[in-house]
Amino acid sequence: MSETQKLLHWLDSERGRQLDFLQQFARIDTANPPGDTRRAADVFRAFLDREGIAHRTEAPQAAHPNLIATFAGGAGGGRHLMLNGHLDVFPVGDRAAWVRDPWSGEIADGRVHGRGTVDMKCGTTALLFVFAYLYRLRAELPGRVTLTVVSDEETGGKWGTGWLIENCAQEVLGDCVLNTEPSGLATVRFGEKCMLWLRFRIAVKGGHSAYPHTGGSANKMAAVLIHDLQAIEAMVAEEPATVRATLDRPEVRQAAELSLGAGAAEVMRRVTVNIGTMQGGVKINMLPAECVLEVDFRLPVGISRAAVLAKVAAIVARHPGVSVEELLPGGPEATVSDPTHEMMGHLLRHAGVGLAAPPQPIISLGGTDTRFWRAKGVPAFVYGCSPAGMGGVDESVSVAEFHHVLRVHALAARDYLMAGR
């Protein structure tokens, strides 16, 4: 058989094994916080051992291990392809609200059930098998393939992908990155908005509520501040020409809204302001002396952190008693890869097989570890299962979508490596 025939044979004949591993992974509690992924990492190590694949662990924090496995193709030369997925998932929340045990990994109605099955245990499992199948073909492949299975993604990636890129750059930067975060089958993501998290503290004299003229209310000041901050959403992005041309296409807008809900195409290209937490006041009949707001700004490609911070500074200057601090200082800007990159073509071609309409390239609304690579100039692309139910009660992923995503990445990776001969 040719290498393509072998790959297709493994993809189809080992579906049961692929699904068994996903279920095993889904049964392990990797909620972050606390983010202890040691048991899950052991399962991945055991798989790699059975496949005869060398690997090592980098654990700057013992409870949050990161796995690296790599191999060089026997055909020499070529490109270095990175595969990246994470082990940690969102917390469960109120377990009593779940119909099934959130760590059951149960299969029902064509879906695997459990916390993190969507984000991103299905995707990380898919890349593990992609890596294993490419390893089996290594004698016939050019280039190099590296798999990183990381922790700490849900809390920013400082001890996961971010740490690997800063401390193991020669091994993990590569020439291109594939990631399987949930994207929806209708879209391939070539960039993402960035997070700017700010904490505002409002301090006034306060006092008795019957005497508002004597002390002022921090909560009332917070209401005015929130109104002013919302105006930042009107900022206009200066998008690169290729990004603008891509996102302006009607079929791209339609695909974005199909995958992410009505309004997503517009949200993708503007700043959003979310007042995530608001804490102020002690008692109903007291003037609040302090109020603290934590605000999540999501910035699109074409609007810099500095530009938004300047707007914020001007607003704060109009409100005596208000101070602001950045919670994630030094974070990356919104990141973008070339939407016409060769890898995008491979993903769109293979993903379009069997779908009613070919997928379209979009910008991600949420964050992924691919931003670390893009910030270093390495193209990175995301294609995964539907994000529906991600982080919610009774989270579950489609078995059919899981197998589809695995197949798309395996074939796209193979084509990318072979084209680099």
Instruction: Say what percent of the chain tops pLDDT 90.
Output: 89
Q: Are 346 and 412 in contact (CB under 8 A)?
A: yes
pLDDT, position 165: 96
Please measure the distance between the N-terminal and C-terminal CA atoms of the chain and give it in whole angstroms: 20
Average pLDDT over residues 344-359: 91
User: In the chain, where are the structural domains located?
Assistant: 3-192+334-419, 194-235+270-326
Within a 10 A sphere around the Cβ of 381, how many other Cβ atoms?
26
Distance CA 118, CA 183 (A): 10
pTM of the model: 0.92
Q: Are 142 and 150 in contact (CB under 8 A)?
A: no
pLDDT, position 413: 98
- At the fourth CATH level, the homologous superfamily of domain 3-192+334-419 is Zn peptidases (3.40.630.10)
Has residue 421 got a pLDDT over 80? Answer: no
What's the angle, vertex CA 154, arms to CA 291 and CA 177, rounded to 5?
135
Q: Are 280 and 268 in contact (CB under 8 A)?
A: no
Please, which pLDDT band fits residue 1 given cuts at 50, 70 and 90?
confident
pLDDT, position 74: 87
* Kind of pairing between the strands at 360-364 and 187-192: parallel
Average pLDDT over residues 285-310: 96
Please, which pLDDT band fits residue 357 given cuts at 50, 70 and 90?
confident
Q: What is the pLDDT of residues 222-241, one digit of tens each?
A: 999 999 999 999 999 999 99
pLDDT, position 267: 95
pLDDT, position 150: 98
Residue 297, phi then psi, degrees to nearest 5 = -95, 130
Within a 10 A sphere around the Cβ of 273, how many other Cβ atoms?
17
> Sheet containing 290-299: which strands, arranged edge to edge?
272-280, 290-299, 194-203, 322-326
Higher pLDDT, 261 or 181: 181
pLDDT, position 128: 98
Q: What is the pLDDT of residues 278-295, one digit of tens each?
A: 999 999 998 999 999 999
Has residue 106 got a pLDDT over 90? Answer: yes
pLDDT, position 356: 82
Q: Which CATH number fits domain 194-235+270-326: 3.30.70.360, 3.40.47.10, 3.90.550.10, 3.40.50.2300?
A: 3.30.70.360
Strands (E), 59-100: 66-72, 80-86
pLDDT, position 222: 96
Q: Are 160 and 87 in contact (CB under 8 A)?
A: no
417 three-class SS: helix
Q: Are 194 and 305 in contact (CB under 8 A)?
A: yes
Q: What is the pLDDT of residues 264-281, one digit of tens each?
A: 999 999 999 999 999 999
pLDDT, position 332: 83
Higher pLDDT, 331 or 15: 15
pLDDT, position 354: 78
Question: What are the beta bridge partners of residue 82?
Answer: 146, 177
pLDDT, position 215: 85
Average pLDDT over residues 392-410: 97
Has residue 107 got a pLDDT over 90? Answer: yes
Distance CA 277, CA 287 (A): 19
pLDDT, position 224: 97
Q: What is the pLDDT of residues 31-62, one digit of tens each?
A: 999 999 999 999 999 999 999 999 999 999 99
Instruction: Kindly report the average pLDDT of the chain as a whole number.
Output: 95
